[in-house]
């Protein structure tokens, strides 16, 4: 199975577990980590709407919990024409992914479009080393 196929399958399974009583919009995200693990997350909403978390954030939390430190490839999947990561998640992904890392946006049928992290977040903020 290709990396995309593995990430796609994992994102699809993660999407099924989403907690979305408010939007009814389920999202799954899967990451390939620097040490070749596949981790995933789903969106988890909250009655206080801004407290909800995106699928990408859940996947990043799972990656850090698993001891991995960076992202090599991403799939975001929803039952939508093109579920691109929100602005906040672009910054969250950039924290752990170089600009050339691929972000594949998929729906239930398969790949819709592939972007790089740099395309999604041009001139993204990075904290400079302090001397």
Q: What is the 3-state secondary structure (H, E, C) of the chain?
A: CCHHHHHHHHHHHHHHCCECCCCCCCEEEEEEECCCCEEEEECECCCCHHHCECHHHHHHHHHHHCCCCCEEEEEEEECCCCCCCCHHHHHHHHHHCCCCCEEEEEECCEEEEEEEHHHHCCCCCCCCCCC
Among 72, 85, 96, 121, indicate the residue that binds ligand THU (CB under 6 A): 85
Among 7, 11, 14, 55, indicate the residue that binds ligand THU (CB under 6 A): 55
Q: Is 56 a catalytic residue?
A: yes
Interaction residues for ligand THU, span 10-49 (CB under 6 A): 20, 23, 25, 27, 43, 45
Q: How far is the CB of 1 from ligand THU (least distance, A)?
A: 24
By the rule CB under 6 A, 89 interacts with ligand THU: yes
């Amino acid at each position: 199975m290709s990396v995309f196929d593995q990430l796609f399958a994992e994102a699809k399974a993660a999407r099924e577990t989403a907690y979305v009583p408010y939007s009814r919009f389920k999202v799954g995200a899967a990451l390939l980590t620097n040490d070749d693990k596949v981790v995933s997350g789903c969106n988890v909403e909250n009655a206080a709407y801004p407290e909800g978390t995106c699928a990408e954030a859940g996947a990043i939390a799972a990656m850090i919990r698993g001891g991995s430190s960076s992202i090599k490839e991403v799939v975001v999947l929803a039952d939508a024409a093109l579920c691109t990561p929100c602005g906040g998640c672009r910054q969250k992904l950039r924290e752990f992914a170089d600009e050339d890392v691929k972000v594949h946006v998929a729906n239930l049928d398969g790949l819709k479009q592939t972007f790089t992290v740099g395309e999604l977040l041009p001139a993204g903020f990075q904290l400079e080393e302090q001397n």
